[in-house]
Amino acid sequence: AEAASNVPTDALVVSASKGIEISTLLRMDEVLGQILPEQIMDRFCVLSGPGFAIEVAGHAPTAVVIAGRTTEAAKEAQNIFQRPYFRIYTNTDIVGVELGGALKNVVALAAGITSGLGYGHNTIAAVITRGLAEMTRLGVAMGGERATFSGLAGMGDLLLTCTGDLSRNRTVGYRLGQGESLEAILSDMKAVAEGVKTTESVYELARGCGVEMPIVEQVYGILNEDVLPAAALEMLMLRESTSEEWS
């Protein structure tokens, strides 16, 4: 709050945070909205999408999205961040873009777990696709736009985080699938795997919104209730048969 008092009223604030506040279940725009004046929040934007920082720093061609409360704010941020190697798209779905960046970390844990269990591309493809369905269901229930989850902040970031060797969340999941304990994994990691904390937040949000998220439920069970990874996958496969509707 002290730092917020020093933010100029005409500032363009761009958040690159991908997470949900644990104690309150608030998104970052909601957190900042509690300490920044409305005049500043009117120009608030969020940047998200499939971009490992080290690859962006190495000028690897990358595409991300910036969502703003207004089209004008999003375009202003686009002009600031756009580079020949860093392509920016815009929209005004702050809710969807923020949720996409947070929810995909939980699915990445699940994808890593399946790899750690020794399963191949079929299984990972199933986790990614059905994980996207769960992300979309919760995102729409919370006010996001369905199309956002098919874009860079949804499917794009999900694919990267579930398959990339630089993904910390995938790595944690892989090691869980290999039989390591969560405590041992976290104790020797130098970087934060956001999905571990985010899983609990997403689990609570889904319950509060009445949204079915079976993959999230099983990841939560593995992290918090000593459910064995192999048993969790079996429970997912033996669920009652349903249609492929995403609503």
Q: Where are the domains of the chain?
A: 4-94, 95-237
Question: Residue 1: what pLDDT?
Answer: 58
Neighbours of 85 (CB within 10 A): 12
Q: Which residues fall within 8 angstroms of residue 72, CB to CB, at 6 or more apart?
A: none
Q: Tokens at residue 159, please?
A: 């694919």
**245 against 219, higher pLDDT:** 219
Q: Which residues fall within 8 angstroms of residue 195, CB to CB, at 6 or more apart?
A: 105, 106, 108, 109, 169, 172, 173
Torsion of CA 217, 218, 219, 221, to 10 degrees: 90
Question: Residue 2: what pLDDT?
Answer: 67
- Residue 91 has phi, psi (to 5 degrees) of -155, -175
Question: Residue 10: what pLDDT?
Answer: 85
Cβ–Cβ < 8 Å for 50, 157: yes
Residue 189 binned pLDDT confidence (cut-offs 50, 70, 90): confident
pLDDT in tens, 25-70: 999 999 999 988 888 899 999 999 999 999 999 999 999 999 999 9
Q: What is the DSSP letter of 147?
A: G
Percent of the chain whose predicted confidence (pLDDT) is above 70: 98
Using left for φ > 0, alpha for ψ between -120 and 50, and beta otherwise, residue 218 falls in: alpha
* Residue 190 falls in the annotated catalytic set: no
- Are β-strands 62-68 and 86-91 bridged in parallel, bridged antiparallel, or unpaired? parallel
Mean pLDDT throughout 219-245? 96
Distance, CA of 109 to CA of 169 (rounded, Å) = 5
Mean pLDDT throughout 63-84? 97
Mean pLDDT taken over the chain: 95
Q: Which amino acid is at 217?
A: E
Question: CATH says 4-94 is which class?
Answer: alpha beta
Residue 4 has pLDDT above 80, yes or no: no
Domain 95-237, classified CATH 3.40.50.2000, yes or no: no
Q: Tokens at residue 84, please?
A: 């020949």
Task: List 45's β-bridge partners, or say none.
Answer: 14, 68
* CA distance readout (Å), 158 to 30, 130, 199: 23, 11, 15
Residue 227 has pLDDT above 70, yes or no: yes
Which listed residue (18, 75, 104, 197) is catalytic? 104
Distance, CA of 90 to CA of 93 (rounded, Å) = 9
Q: What is the DSSP letter of 83?
A: B
- pTM higher than 0.85 for the full model? yes
The closest of 60, 228, 244 to 134, measured between CA atoms, is 244
**130 against 194, higher pLDDT:** 130
pLDDT in tens, 150-188: 999 999 999 999 999 999 999 999 999 999 999 999 999
